[in-house]
Each structure stands twice: as C-alpha cells, then as structure tokens.
Amino acid sequence: MPGVTTGNWQEPAHLRWSFQHMADLFPVATIARGAEIPLPVAEADPGGLSVPMEDTDAWLVLHRGAVVAEEYAGTMTPATRHLLMSVSKSVVGLVAGILCGQGRLDEGALVTSYLPDLAGSGWDGATVRDLLDMRVGIRFSEDYLDPASEVRRLDESVGWAERGPRSPAHLRAFLAELRGDRPHGGPFAYSSAITDALGLVCEAAGGAAFPGLASDLLWSRIGAAHDAYVTVDPVGTSMYDGGICATPRDLARLGALVAAGGRSLTGEQVVPAAWVDDLFRGGPDSASAFAAADHDHGLSGGSYRGQFWSPAAGGDVVLCLGIHGQMVYVDRAREVVGVKLSSWPLPVDEVRGRADLAAFRAIAARVAA
C-alpha cells in the first residue's frame, strides 16, 4: 500500500493492510508446515452465529474439528496470513512445553543458565517458570500509546518503529538493558519482553533458531495448510512476542490441538497432555498472582499460565490474546475453538474484548447443544 512505512504502519488507517502484509514491510523467516490435514465443514449448519464485525478481518468456529462458521472481510481470504500480535506468545509457550516434555528445557532453571549474556541485568534470579507465567520483576511499561514506554523501545529494537541514534541495536541488546524493580515470582505483570526472553531460552534449549524449532516441534505437526512466518530483527532474531503471521484456519488447527489435550487432528500427541491440562488448571497460586496484579485486563477472576489466559481460573476455557483484537478461544469441555483476527483502531479495547468473549461463549453453548 503506497505510503505505509515502518513509521506509520500501526496508525489506524493502515492497520488492516499492514496486518495482512507484514512480509512486505519487514524481513521475515518461515515457520514451515508439514502435511496438511483438511478441515471438514460440519454437515449441520446451526445458523445465526455471529460475532461483532466492526474492524474484524476474519473469524471462524470449529466444533469437534469441523468448521461450523466462517467469514472474511475486505481483502482477507482463507489463504491470507494475518499478524497475530500477542497470540504469538501462546505459540512460544507451546514450544516451551514440548521442550520441557522432551527433557530439553527445565522450567525450574534460571533464565541466565540458558542466556548467560543476560547476567547482571534484571533477569538475574528469574526462572523459566517465571517467564512462562509473566511473573518476572523487570521494570517494563506495556503502554502502547506512550512513545517513551519500554514496549515502544522494544519495537525500535526489532525494527517495528523508526530507529534513533539511541535505539537498541537489536532485540537481545534491548533485553540486556532491562533492570529489575521487585522480586521475581510475585504478582502477574504482563510484559512482552518476557516472552522474548522465553523465545531465546527455547532456542538455547532446543539448539536451533525459533522458526525452524517452531516448525519441527509444532507447526509441521498440526496439519497446517500454509507456512506461517515471523518478523525478525536486524540480526535475524525472531519477534517472539508478537511477530508471527498465520491464516485463520491454521490458527484454528492450533486451537483444536489445545482443546484435544495436545493431540493433533490426526491424534498425534504433539504437546504433552499434562502441560496442556496445566494451562487450564493453572498453578497452585496462579489465581492469586493474577488477582494481585495492578490490572486484570478485563478478565476479573481469571489467571495466566504458560503464556495462555484463562477468563475463569481453573475452568475449561483458555484464550490466546493479541492487541488490536486478535483472539483464539478454546473450550475443551464443549470441543469448540473460535478464532477472530481484527484491526481495531486502538491496541486495547476492553469493551470490545468482552463482547468478543461473550460472543464465543454464546456460540460454544449453542453449537455444543
């Protein structure tokens, strides 16, 4: 789109185009698929299913692995890879879960045992489990609208924003400059930088760059119809916390894997069942850590575990969420997966977020009945 640059791609007028053309704006790396598993279309059409459509690019619903509703807006098509924003975090969390299940990653180990170059920074003393559950005591502002916030400096480090003379050279350099301001393992505190550290830990434990690792362990095993891709920083490091782009149906396949306890649509156990169960059940203090947070992110009574959100701690629903209206809704009891990809003007809109959650709850109850 003429006129879209790294300096204005996140402006409201450009979001719909930008989110569908990240590879035209930034360098990317491929997360390769394996053999496709076709998604059947449900024979019975429940009819009347809907979600809020303003600034929605695509949405669909699976029930027991079959498509029961699907809609695309504007130029979005089933083959379009859309920016997932922080839904990407849940992909990183699943890769970490697979590595832990293989004994290659220890969730109780110190972050600096995998990333010694971060020693002497705010990451000292944090464990991999602290990363997984966003309970690392680093000083970090996730205020997307504040040009002086750390999340905007993170954008500069990966090339998502125009760089200045004092911008970090790359993502890893940015992480090394962060400092702590409270003990690790305390209240939940959402920070995109934490997932970036987790992505680097996965690479160190897995012995490969993230795109290949995510392909080998996860994406090639879910039956995806298309390769995914991830934007990379100036030295080729993945933008783990928000840079993955994928099609709606492939995202639904990922959700179906979570709903089925880590099994793909062919029945292969991809993610350990115990790891997936832990995402729903939460840790012994996940609910209290979330309740003690400064902000409940519109999910009062919820929790956060393994890079997934839960709207009700210990329930049968988990969510993957990203700014500007990205959502994957997984209801394992009803065997329902909902996907919604959007281009909301504001990064965070809790009113719209609650409306989308209510819509998928209503759809899940209806199709399961």
Q: What does the alpha-carbon distance between residue 277 and residue 3 come to, in Å, rounded to a whole number?
A: 46
Is the model's pLDDT at 46 over the cut of 90?
no
pLDDT of residue 326: 98
pLDDT of residue 16: 97
Q: How confident is the prediction for the chain on average, in pLDDT?
A: 96
Q: Token match 């200045």: residue?
A: 164
Q: How confident is the model at residue 304 (pLDDT cuts 50, 70, 90)?
A: very high
- CB-based contact 234:225 (threshold 8 Å): no
pLDDT of residue 76: 97
pLDDT of residue 297: 93
Is the model's pLDDT at 60 over the cut of 80?
yes
Is the model's pLDDT at 45 over the cut of 90?
no
CA-wise closest residue to 337 among 309, 322, 318? 318
pLDDT of residue 1: 76
pLDDT tens string 347-359: 999 999 999 999 9
Angle at 266 between CA 264 and CA 268, to 5 degrees: 55
Average pLDDT over residues 224-238: 98
Eight-state DSSP code of residue 322:
E
Is the model's pLDDT at 31 over the cut of 80?
yes
Weakest mean pLDDT among 47-56, 67-76, 250-259: 47-56
pLDDT tens string 115-169: 999 999 999 999 999 999 999 999 999 999 999 999 999 999 999 999 989 999 9
Average pLDDT over residues 293-299: 93
Question: Amino acid identity, residue 294?
Answer: D
Question: Amino acid identity, residue 7?
Answer: G
Annotate 171-234 with three-state secondary structure: HHHHHHCCCECCCCCCCCCCCHHHHHHHHHHHHHHHCCCHHHHHHHHCHHHCCCCCCEEEEECC
Q: Which stretches does DSSP call E strand in the chain?
A: 28-31, 56-63, 66-72, 82-83, 228-231, 244-246, 303-305, 308-310, 317-322, 326-331, 336-342
Is the model's pLDDT at 257 over the cut of 80?
yes
How far is CA 211 from its chain centroid?
15
**Of residues 18, 86, 191, 286, which has the active-site annotation?**
86
86 is catalytic: yes
Question: Is the pLDDT higher at 6 or at 341?
Answer: 341
- Beginning with the edge strand found earlier in the chain, give each strand of the sheet holding 336-342 in spatial order: 66-72, 56-63, 336-342, 326-331, 317-322, 308-310, 303-305
Q: What does the alpha-carbon distance between residue 257 and residue 264 come to, in Å, rounded to a whole number?
A: 5
Weakest mean pLDDT among 4-8, 99-103, 230-234: 4-8
Phi, psi of 326, rounded to the nearest 5 degrees:
-95, 135
How much of the chain, in percent, has pLDDT values that exceed 70?
100
Average pLDDT over residues 300-328: 97
Question: Is the pLDDT higher at 25 or at 48?
Answer: 25
pLDDT of residue 308: 98
pLDDT of residue 195: 98
Is the model's pLDDT at 4 over the cut of 80?
yes
- Parallel, antiparallel, or unpaired: how do β-strands 326-331 and 317-322 relate? antiparallel
pLDDT of residue 105: 98
Domains and CATH numbers, the chain: 16-368 (3.40.710.10)
Q: How confident is the model at residue 216 (pLDDT cuts 50, 70, 90)?
A: very high
pLDDT of residue 309: 98
Average pLDDT over residues 220-238: 98
